[in-house]
């Protein structure tokens, strides 16, 4: 059998492929190119593209690969006490108190221990509620929810997200519940936390600074 030339293969392919199939193939190639261009625009350091489970793998979600600065990673820094090479001064002569003057009493150990034992005030987490239904943008003219009504999760998830700029705002549990409100949203901003307490405190702080808004 004679070897088929490239021109003959093109003619054979054009006969076997309908115009609708050729148009579909062209649209598929264009969609793949557009998807790569979109990924190049949104790809940032510390993120990785992952197929979106909610859209059956037809979409891409940019998932952070490194912990953000706002993440409560539980790391503590132990700072050694300051030391000095200066020799301790010798015992100095203490002058006796003047007549009629009562010398000041040193604070007792119990009072200092009571001051150290006093717990720091904690922010009380309100009961969980539900965000505004839908995935449409509410616009920057809509006031953000107050912290008392911006918690949409309980203690169950292993990660918590504080959304300060997005389609919906507040504290969410798990990436699957958070992703629809920030993925693909221009200027969206959120932080990841290990505990619900730290996530809620981050939202309270951002709300107090006036940087929480719908986009």
Distances 137 to 26, 41, 165, 208 between C-alpha atoms, Å: 33, 22, 11, 23
In sign, the C-alpha dihedral spanning 65, 66, 69, 71 is: positive
Using a pLDDT cut of 70, give the percent of the chain over it: 50
Q: What is the pLDDT of residues 167-201, one digit of tens each?
A: 999 999 999 999 999 999 999 999 999 999 999 99
Q: Is the pLDDT of residue 92 over 60?
A: no
Name the band, by pLDDT with cuts 50, 70 and 90, for residue 32: confident
Lowest mean pLDDT among 16-20, 80-84, 113-117, 203-207: 80-84
Name the helix (H) or strand (E) containing 213: strand 213-214
pTM of the model: 0.48
Q: What is the pLDDT of residues 61-83, one digit of tens each?
A: 666 654 444 455 433 334 344 44
CA distance 55 to 61: 10
């Amino acid at each position: 059998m004679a070897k088929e030339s490239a021109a003959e293969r093109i003619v054979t392919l054009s006969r076997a492929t309908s115009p609708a199939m050729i148009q579909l193939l062209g649209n598929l190639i264009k969609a793949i190119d557009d998807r790569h261009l979109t990924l190049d625009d949104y790809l940032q350091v510390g993120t990785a593209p992952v197929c979106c489970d909610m859209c059956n793998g037809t979409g891409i979600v940019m998932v952070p690969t490194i912990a953000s600065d706002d993440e409560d990673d539980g790391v503590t820094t132990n700072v050694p006490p300051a030391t000095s090479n200066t020799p301790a001064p010798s015992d100095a002569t203490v002058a006796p108190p003047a007549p009629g003057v009562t010398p000041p009493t040193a604070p007792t150990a119990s009072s200092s221990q009571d001051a150290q034992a006093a717990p720091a005030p904690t922010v009380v987490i309100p009961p969980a509620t539900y965000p505004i239904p839908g995935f449409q943008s509410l616009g920057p003219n809509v006031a953000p929810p107050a912290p008392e009504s911006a918690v949409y999760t309980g203690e169950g998830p292993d990660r918590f997200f504080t959304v300060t700029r997005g389609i919906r705002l507040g504290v969410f549990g798990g990436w699957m519940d958070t992703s629809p409100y920030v993925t693909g949203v221009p200027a969206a901003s959120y932080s990841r936390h290990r505990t619900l307490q730290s996530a809620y405190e981050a939202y309270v702080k951002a709300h107090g600074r006036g940087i929480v808004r719908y986009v």
